[in-house]
Amino acid sequence: MKLYSVKSATAIAIATSLLLSGCANKAVVSYGDAQAVETTDINFGSTDLQKVASQMTDSLLASPVVGTLTANSRPIVFVERIKNKTSEHIDTESITDSISTQLLRSGKFRFVDMTRVEAVREQLNFQNVDPLVNPNTAIAFGQQVGAQYMLYGNLSSIVKSNADKADVYYKFTMRLMDLKSGLIEWADETEIRKTREKSTFGW
């Protein structure tokens, strides 16, 4: 009986320990403010993306030249992917997505999506070649509208560090080009500087 009791007590103790251990290691997930300032490290982050997209959009819409261009029409624009000249892996497509979305919301511009050209071509080929598609409903080739302007830019950085401090400087530039004339109708840039100082317990 004593041996049985000892084994039972041991089993209960092990089970309790495993249960408590599982509870202690369980992650807690919660929602945060997507617009809150992100200061996890000095690398390019969500706050920087939001700042860049907002400033470039506001600058473009406030430009007197752009105001004239959009006074009586909605110019058609295509966005060239931002050139990442930093040493970081940065999803620059997220920046252009945010900018083009905000510009579309303004109601002043229309966009052609160059990232989907192959998908559109594939669909038009299907509609015009495959016998399964009713030719009366197929979209004919040569109906796509060409862009009038190209929006493009660069993201570069300068990183400096020593034993006590790390500093990173970002510069984001953007331009709007008239594809017919090759003239730059608008350009602007914004800068971000972030520093990290060594604490008593290290970085």
| Cα distance between residue 99 and residue 57, in whole Å | 6
Instruction: Please check whether residue 70 lies inside any domain of the structure.
Output: yes
- Residue labelled with tokens 């408590």: 20
Instruction: Please check whether residue 66 lies inside any domain of the structure.
Output: yes
Q: What sign does the CA torsion over 81, 76, 103, 56 have?
A: positive
DSSP structural state of residue 199: B
Q: What is the pLDDT of residues 144-199, one digit of tens each?
A: 899 999 999 999 999 988 888 889 999 999 999 999 999 999 999 999 998 888 76
Instruction: Please check whether residue 190 lies inside any domain of the structure.
Output: yes
Question: On the CB side of 164, how many CA atoms lie within 13 Å of its CA?
Answer: 1
Tell whether the model's pLDDT for residue 1 goes beyond 60: no
Q: What is the pLDDT of residues 133-150, one digit of tens each?
A: 999 999 998 888 999 999
Per DSSP, what are the bridge partners of residue 155? 84, 172
Q: Which residues, 6+ apart, have CB-to-CB distance to 116 below 8 Å?
A: none
Instruction: Please check whether residue 25 lies inside any domain of the structure.
Output: no
Q: What is the pLDDT of residues 56-113, one digit of tens each?
A: 999 999 999 999 999 999 999 999 989 999 999 998 999 999 999 999 999 999 999 8
Instruction: Please check whether residue 86 lies inside any domain of the structure.
Output: yes
Helix, strand, or coil (residue 115): helix
We report the CATH number of the domain holding residue 185 as 3.40.50
> Could you give the residue ranges of the DSSP H alpha helices within the chain?
2-25, 46-62, 64-69, 92-106, 117-129
Tell whether the model's pLDDT for residue 116 goes beyond 70: yes
For position 3, what pLDDT does the model report? 47
| Cα distance between residue 134 and residue 86, in whole Å | 50
Q: What is the pTM of this model?
A: 0.76
Instruction: Please check whether residue 19 lies inside any domain of the structure.
Output: no
Domain residue limits at 182: 42-112+147-197
Per DSSP, what are the bridge partners of residue 174? 153, 188
Instruction: Please check whether residue 154 lies inside any domain of the structure.
Output: yes
Instruction: Please check whether residue 84 lies inside any domain of the structure.
Output: yes
CB atoms within 10 A of CB 182: 8
Q: How many domains does the chain have?
A: 1
